[in-house]
Structure 1
Amino acid sequence: MHRTVIEPRFYETDAFGHINNTVIAGWFETGRRGVFELFSSDMDPRNLNLILARIEIDFVAQTYYGSEVEIRTWVERIGRTSFTVSQEAWQNDQCVARGQAVQVHFDWQTQAPAPLSEDQKAALAAL
């Protein structure tokens, strides 16, 4: 499991005083950085052969400004050309959101999904 700590910013709050729900998707993307680095260690977008096929988020509780949020990230499923990343956001010892993202290994030249190598599968399984 990979962990990322986020310090909520004031401008991420909404009129109700809690973190706007659109922000969580961005935090989850930040939490997937460890996964991205498996495919492009220098994080050069030209070398990152992944595309996002699907994302879903369940909002479990309200998230507030003023307390850190920990994003927990792990790989739930590994397929032939894609994998599913599961994530949770925790604040003050409470899960406030959970979600999944389906990432597809992509060949930019052919514009089609590409099989994951055994090395890539092993690295993903370690998460």
Structure 2
Amino acid sequence: MAEEPRLAARALFPHWRPAVVRHADLDPNGHVTNSVFAAWLDDGRYALLSAILLPLIPPGDLPALAALSVDFAREVTFADAPEIGTAVLRLGARSIVMGQGLFVGDACAATAHSVTVVMDGRTRRARPLTIAERDALGRFAARSGGEAGDWS
């Protein structure tokens, strides 16, 4: 999962979630630590998945993060008001590839790629996405500023 420049464009993202900078999030230099960026990105992904995917999956099945790649671009400080944008970039037979941007105003502080699967509650393995799940996730495809994605 290489860095993708289009993830630095706010217009790409159909789903947004604010993040709160806490004093405890800062390192000794007054910057938000990298692990907090990862937690904020997780909040952004989970907010989208819990609203869209969880109502459709059978009890016992659950979304599981399979891969995460983060590229850091600028610092975030205590005075900032970050927001996380999330978009579905591609749907595989069993995977959901999402792109994210962490923004302070119009400035992109980080971008991320992730792969999520839906784990079958009985087998504990990734299962194929249903048509209903694919349709619901497709509504959160990347917007103009980037192509919608490959739904193969």
TM over 0.5: yes
Ranked by relative contact order (alpha carbons within 8 Å, sequence separation 6 or more), the top structure is 2
1:63 counterpart = 2:40: no
Identity of aligned residues (%): 28
1:73 maps to a residue whose letter is T
- Structure 1 residue 4 corresponds to structure 2 residue 53: no
TM-score using structure 2 length = 0.76
Structure 2 letter corresponding to 1:97 = A
1:103 lines up with 2:116 in the alignment: yes
| 2:50 equivalent in structure 1 | 36
Check whether the contact 2:53–2:136 (CA below 8 A) recurs between aligned residues. Answer: no
Match of residue 93 from structure 1: 106
Equivalent pair of 1:70/1:89 in contact (CA under 8 Å):
yes
Which structure has greater strand proportion?
1
- TM-score, length of structure 1 as denominator length: 0.90
Identify unmatched segments of 5+ residues in structure 1.
Answer: none
Please state how far the C-alpha of 1:48 moved relative to its aligned partner.
5.2
What is the Cα-based RMSD across aligned positions, in Å? 1.3
Number of aligned residues:
123
User: Can you give the 5+ residue segments of structure 2 that lack an aligned partner in the other structure?
Assistant: 1-13, 141-152
